[in-house]
Amino acid sequence: MRRLLAVAHQTAEATEFLDTVRSLALRDRAEVVLLVPATPVNHLASWTRGESRAIAQVRAEKARLLLDEAGVDVVEARVGDADPYEAIINALADEEFHHVVVSTFPPGISRWLGADLINRLGRSIDVPVTHVVAH
């Protein structure tokens, strides 16, 4: 069976992300693993790794419910490394995926784009990457 890695954090519940994952999963008859990197929460004065993981887990479960309701076969919703690049590389090292979907905020707002995530992935993995911009 084909497998799709869907990666998001703050945009995990965005319509653009959910619609793209649904469309690709149904088109390819793929099961989906939802990955939410435990990126530091920037709205808190202080944070700990545990707080970031807990927030990411809640977001993963909410997005999983939305994808399940949309008819997507989500086999797992997991929290990954705080660095989204490392989280994706780790997931690809552990399992085979046929496609990666990454959701970010628009350029200028997105820290992930500011860290050149999409281009770095394109240079380092042999799996198609679909970039979704959520507004």
Q: What is the CATH number of the domain that holds 27?
A: 3.40.50.620
pLDDT for res 40 = 81
Report d(CA 1, CA 39) in Å as an integer: 30
pLDDT for res 41 = 67
pTM here? 0.93
Question: Strands 2-7, 129-133: parallel, antiparallel or unpaired by DSSP?
Answer: unpaired
State the total domains in the chain: 1
Which residues of the chain register pLDDT less than 50? 43-46
Domain enclosing residue 96, as ranges: 2-133
pLDDT for res 43 = 42
